[in-house]
Amino acid sequence: MNEHDCLHEKDFGTVFTKIDNLIETVEAQTKVITDLVTFQTSIQAINGYKDKEKFNAKQRAGIIMSGILGISSITVTIILKFV
C-alpha cells in the first residue's frame, strides 16, 4: 500500500493541540514579562523615593547644623561680652 498525503481528523487534532500549547506558552511568557516590567517600575519608584528622602534628610541635617552653629555663635558672643 502506498501512503497518501491527505489530512485526517487526528492530524487536525494534533495541529490544534500544538497551536493551543503555543498560545498558552505565549500567554505565560507575556505574564512573566508584564510582572518583570511591574517589578522594575516598582523598584524605580522605591529608589526615587529613597533618593528624595536622602535629600530631605540632608536638608534637615543642614538646617540643624546651621541652627547649632548660630546658637553657638550667639552663646560665644554673649559669653565674650560679659567676660
> What is the predicted pLDDT for the residue at 2?
56
Q: Where are the domains of the chain?
A: 28-83
Measuring CA to CA, which residue among 29, 11, 31, 32 is closest to residue 21? 29
CA dihedral (12, 14, 18, 21) positive or negative: positive
Measuring CA to CA, which residue among 56, 31, 15, 66 is closest to residue 7? 15
* pLDDT tens digits in sequence order for the chain, 83 residues long: 456 666 666 677 788 888 888 888 888 888 888 888 888 888 888 888 877 777 777 888 888 899 899 898 888 888 888 76
Q: Note the pTM of the prediction, 2 decimals.
A: 0.47
> What is the predicted pLDDT for the residue at 1?
47
